[in-house]
Amino acid sequence: MRIERVGLRDLRPITETEFQKAIAACEKIKAIREGRHQYILDHKLDEGLLMPAGKYGPGGQFTSLANYAYDLVISGSYEIINHLRLYTHHFCGYSFAPFSNDLIIHPIPKDFDEQCDKLLKEPDQWVNAYIQLARNTAAHLLPVAPKTLGEIGWDVNGRIVNHDIFGWQEKLAYLDFSGILLGLRKRIGMGFGINILELGGGYGGLAYFFKAALPEANYFIVDLPESLLFSAVYLAITGGEFDHTIYDGTNLEQVLENNAGFKFISNFMFDDLVEPLKIDLMINTSGLPSMSLEQVEHYAAGIEKMLTGVLYEHNGVPPYSYKKILAAHFPARIGLSPSFAFPNMWGKSYADIATFLGTSLASLQGLAEDKKWTLYPLPQPTN
């Protein structure tokens, strides 16, 4: 097995065309963010509910870092956008610069690769974890990260691997293991369009890899505009073969079009989707614990109206009190691993989950026993 370091020196710089796509996304997101307060007033919305809160709110754990990263990227610098992944620490908690205590390195030192090389002599734990998981993962579900935008790490048989890439591989593996991907493929085979909604899309990594596995999906990302900027820019460059629509409050028909594209919706416009959009799968990974409980309730109530399939959440960090709110809206829960924390498949009923997975309610218990799933009448979080 060939394993080699991948540094900035090994990556493809983005083209001028790609840079201009990124700038166009920046300009749209900037305008939406600057118009947020007026939009909330005009639509008589609850500003306290829709502004950044929890870990991203005033005094929150990630607030200053997220705002700093946003300001850097929105500035429209080619150098920053060309190294976008070095500015995404606040999403995944992983630093690409082991030689510094700073979570974001700016400006990027000219000897960045050399400093990393001195400290990273051997593959890290994420490479080993990737190799172990890959042995039991279908080849088409192994992420192939684009070799650009500052995506550094280790080359394992032609695939870049790092902490974040392993995380997306793990989530795709669970989506496959759970039968969710098969359920979606069956719907595609029957000629249906499928709608995926990711609540909190981070820098766009999971969206990219999910679409590589199911390119036919319409993929909606709902997020704070401060975060939506990153996924919109990342996917504008890495997912250029798909349509991209950034919702500005006026182009809802375009957003709802069944075109297998990426659709970006700022959180304070989420309510516009609730009535007209039906979703087959809702995804949240690491985002719910970062929100206020009032925000979780708001999303859960909306998603209950929209969901025709299942909700997949994979949140491995506390607090877990948001699970009580999910249970009130989605009383059927299947734990896909022994840990209470992650991952979980939720539905309005076990009958709905069984139908989505293409099995009978009577067979669901046997399937759960075979796969060592846990069926919870109601989750019982400890905090």
Torsion of CA 343, 160, 202, 64, to 10 degrees: 120
Distance separating alpha carbons of residues 321 and 383, to the nearest angstrom? 6
CA of residue 82 relative to chain centroid, distance: 21
Residue 252 domain-assigned? yes
pLDDT at 382: 43
**Among 344, 335, 381, 314, residue whose Cα is nearest residue 92:** 314
Residue 307 domain-assigned? yes
Residue type, 34: E
Residue 8 domain-assigned? no
Residue 153 φ then ψ, to 5°: 160, -125
Distance separating alpha carbons of residues 15 and 78, to the nearest angstrom? 10
Distance separating alpha carbons of residues 171 and 160, to the nearest angstrom? 17
Distance separating alpha carbons of residues 290 and 56, to the nearest angstrom? 7
315 and 80 Cβ atoms separated by less than 8 Å: no
Residue 25, burial from CB neighbour count under 10 angstroms (0-12, 13-18, 19+): buried
7 and 117 Cβ atoms separated by less than 8 Å: yes
Alpha helices by DSSP H, listed for 178-283, are: 180-189, 205-213, 225-238, 252-256, 271-274
Residue 109 domain-assigned? no
Instruction: Count structural domains, the chain.
Output: 1
Residue 286 domain-assigned? yes
Q: What is the pTM of this model?
A: 0.95
pLDDT at 381: 42
CATH no. for residue 174?
3.40.50.150
Tokens at residue 197, please?
Answer: 């909604």
322 and 289 Cβ atoms separated by less than 8 Å: yes
Residue 276 domain-assigned? yes
Residue range(s) defining the domain that contains residue 263: 169-376
Distance separating alpha carbons of residues 325 and 170, to the nearest angstrom? 25
DSSP assignments along 328-378, one per residue: HH--EEEESSSSSSS-EEEES-HHHHHHHHTS-HHHHHHHHHHHT-EEESS
Q: What is the DSSP letter of 178?
A: T
374 and 368 Cβ atoms separated by less than 8 Å: yes
pLDDT at 154: 97
Residue corresponding to tokens 């009130």? 328
pLDDT at 136: 87
pLDDT by 10s per residue, the chain, length 383: 889 999 999 999 999 999 999 999 999 999 999 999 999 999 999 999 999 988 888 888 889 999 999 999 999 999 999 999 999 999 988 889 999 988 899 999 999 999 999 999 999 999 999 999 999 888 888 878 999 999 999 999 999 999 999 999 999 999 999 999 999 999 999 999 999 999 999 999 999 999 999 999 999 999 999 999 999 999 999 999 999 999 999 999 999 999 999 999 999 999 999 999 999 999 999 788 889 999 999 999 999 999 999 999 998 766 778 989 999 999 999 999 765 557 999 999 999 999 999 999 888 988 888 888 988 864 344 44
pLDDT at 321: 86
pLDDT at 6: 97
Distance separating alpha carbons of residues 195 and 215, to the nearest angstrom? 11
Residue 97 domain-assigned? no
Residue 50 domain-assigned? no
Q: Could you give the angle at which helices 205-213 and 225-238 cross, rounded to 10 degrees? A: 40
